[in-house]
Amino acid sequence: MTTVNEYHSEVLAWIEQDPDLETVAELKALLKASEAGDEQAQAEISDRFSTRLSFGTAGLRGAIAAGPNRMNRVVVIQAAAGLARYLLANAHEGKTPSVVIGFDGRKNSEVFARDTAEIMSGFGVEAMLLPRMLPTPVLAFSVRELNASAGVMVTASHNPAADNGYKVYLGGDDNGSQIVSPADVHIAEQIDMVAAQMNVGELARGPFSTIPESVIDNYISQTALVAGTYASSAQPHFVYTAMHGVGYETFAAVISRAGFGTPEVVAEQNVPDATFPTVEFPNPEEPGALDLAYVLARKTNAELIVANDPDADRLAVAIPDESTAEGYRRLTGNELGALLGWRTARELGLTNKTGTLACSIVSSPALSAVAEHYGLDFRWTLTGFKWVSRVENLAFGYEEALGYLVNPGTIRDKDGISAAVALLSIVSELKSQGSTLSDHLDEFSMTFGHFASEQISLRVSDLSEIPRLMTSLRSSQPAGIGGIAVATVDDLLAGNSDFPPSDVLRFWLEDGSRIMVRPSGTEPKLKVYIDVVSREGELAQRRNDAAQRLSALAFGMKELLGL
């Protein structure tokens, strides 16, 4: 085992520069325990100091604790200094770079945001801080609205309560989208240089300005326009949960401006709370996360449940379903993405406009069917909304993990609030016609085909198992899966004209089904995405056929992976 002596000087240097009394005390206690022979403390110090928290296209994200491999004030200050150096090095001659900074309600979010503003100002970057905790989409909007060089959002989105994160956006030619390579590499190089050569306690700090309320009001006004003319058609009666996050204040202002009524609110989850006391994971995709919303919906006989994740960049929706124990069924990200994309395609058709529909490669092919039906362009992108948001002439984009962009002219990131407004306008229009969202899903199946999806996640304890499985699938490509012949296989590892290199295998089957296999980007998992479509017969027949083929393909993939 690596001993703490290897890191003793690094630990002491960290304590000397750390401005956070809590993490200083934590690290001192670990150091004392390790010096007394506590092997667990030694292992903990080794884990925290043997590497740095990686800065990449997702920025930074990790548990809040002391050390370079955790989220804390030292790491954040180093990141701010590195980003400032990057912006200064890439600024146009004679132009002072600027940055907009936002934060959510998690532990230390405001502290990290203020550190960022002061440090970047100290380096000569114009720093502007949002006036209070606000959703991530407001920050993404502000980068474009203020023509800033960059944006920083301090959030860990729907991660567990112990985590926090640091998401970076770029203005200018990047149009307010999240960073992609090679910018992430160059920023990381600057951060590493700061960490190696500078003491954060000695870095200059400067003044910053507070963004005026008018910018937030502009976000509210422009997002409310997404509703179109449908808000007054018929008011949907719905339940809303903010999942202990920062979404409700802004969401309520937007829907009021759009003309929708006040929702039934899950009171226990409506106020920002960094401990997320009612959910194990504050992610509306997780089992149990919507339980309180289901209870309130049953009590109030709601037509709909609308949920944002804690930073409100994702949207979950549930509809009545008597076949479930809860009385409601959460729509999948693919179902909601298909309906929102259909709405966009219809509107483009009515106005004789063109545009591109786009989604990540692990999302359902349903959106491509919508684009084909309306004669619109369609693009697949790599996973991650940073790629979806950069599609040229984008009219609508989504990823199956509950991320949707319905108004790319206003914002270039997923936005759970504008997506909710678009969804409410659909429900309002349907209600005025005596129809429901469930009926609309059936209509989609009869118009474009009944699409069905399933995911398989193989969690491993040995990370080397994932590349071994990917190598095995590449070297011994199956002729058939689940009794269905494989037509073609796309290996994206080498990259192509559509995608940069990515560790992804895509199997197209003879019956039109598709299977994607890739390592998870955030967890020790191999993920499999299975999609089928049925276009023959009436609705019941299409559903049954799709379900049978989905089951056969899932069984076949589990056999291939040895599950």
* DSSP reduced 3-state for 456: strand
**pLDDT score recorded for residue 522:** 65
Q: Where are the extended beta strands (E) located within 65-210?
A: 98-103, 126-129, 150-154, 163-170, 177-178, 209-210
Q: At 196, phi and psi to the nearest 5?
A: -80, -30
Residue positions counted in the chain = 563
Residue of 82, 66, 63 whose CA lies nearest to 74 = 66
Q: Catalytic annotation on 157?
A: yes
Residues 323 and 342 in one domain: no
**pLDDT score recorded for residue 234:** 87
Mean of per-residue pLDDT scores for the chain: 94
**pLDDT score recorded for residue 94:** 84
Among candidate residues 46, 157, 389, 513, the one labeled active-site is 157
Q: Name the helix (H) or strand (E) containing 38.
A: none
CA 537 to chain centre: 37
pLDDT at 379 over 50: yes
Residues 176 and 62 in one domain: yes
Q: Rounded CA gap, 420 and 315, in Å?
A: 7
Number of domains in the chain: 5
Residues 368 and 468 in one domain: no
Query: Could you tell me the CATH number of the domain that includes residue 557?
Result: 3.30.310.50
Domain enclosing residue 346, as ranges? 333-447
Here the tokens at position 307 are 């949920």
Residues 238 and 109 in one domain: no
Q: Rounded CA gap, 517 and 503, in Å?
A: 9
Residues 311 and 380 in one domain: no
Residue of 389, 363, 361 whose CA lies nearest to 180 = 389
Residues in contact with 461: Cβ distance below 8 Å, sequence separation at least 6, in sequence order: 524
Query: Strand 98-103 vs strand 150-154: parallel, antiparallel, or unpaired?
Result: parallel
Residue of 430, 440, 403, 401 whose CA lies nearest to 418 = 403
Query: Could you tell me the CATH number of the domain that includes residue 155?
Result: 3.40.120.10
Here the tokens at position 238 are 């719905």
Give start and end residues of each alpha helix (H) in 123-237. Answer: 136-145, 183-197, 213-224
**Cβ distance 52 to 68 under 8 Å?**
yes
Q: Name the helix (H) or strand (E) containing 498.
A: none
Here the tokens at position 67 are 């050390």
Here the tokens at position 156 are 């860990």
Residues 58 and 127 in one domain: yes
Here the tokens at position 524 are 């020790």
pLDDT tens per residue, range 486-523: 999 999 988 777 788 889 999 999 999 999 999 987 67
Residues 197 and 224 in one domain: no
Q: Rounded CA gap, 137 and 309, in Å?
A: 12
pLDDT tens per residue, range 183-216: 999 999 999 999 999 999 999 999 999 999 999 9
pLDDT at 1 over 60: no
Greater confidence (498 vs 245) lies with 245
**pLDDT score recorded for residue 6:** 79
Here the tokens at position 377 are 């362009």
Strand partners, 529: 455, 516
Q: At 219, phi and psi to the nearest 5?
A: -60, -45
Residues 182 and 60 in one domain: yes
Residue showing tokens 């056929």: 545
Give start and end residues of each alpha helix (H) in 437-486. Answer: 437-448, 465-475
Residues 75 and 179 in one domain: yes
**Cβ distance 449 to 367 under 8 Å?**
no
* DSSP reduced 3-state for 533: strand
Q: Which of 383, 417, 447 is the last residue of a domain?
A: 447
Q: Which of 211, 241, 258 is the last residue of a domain?
A: 211
Residue of 378, 375, 370, 381 whose CA lies nearest to 353 = 375
pLDDT tens per residue, range 159-179: 999 999 999 999 999 999 999
Residues 443 and 453 in one domain: no
Q: How many CB atoms lie within 10 A of CB 472?
A: 13
Q: Which of 179, 211, 243 is the last residue of a domain?
A: 211
What is the percent of the chain where pLDDT is above 90?
87
**pLDDT score recorded for residue 56:** 83
Residues 401 and 366 in one domain: yes
Residues 59 and 78 in one domain: yes
The structure's pTM equals 0.94
pLDDT tens per residue, range 434-476: 999 999 999 999 999 999 999 998 888 888 889 999 999 999 8
**pLDDT score recorded for residue 2:** 47
Q: How many CB atoms lie within 10 A of CB 377?
A: 15
What's the CA angle centered on 329, arms 324 and 332, to 5 degrees? 135
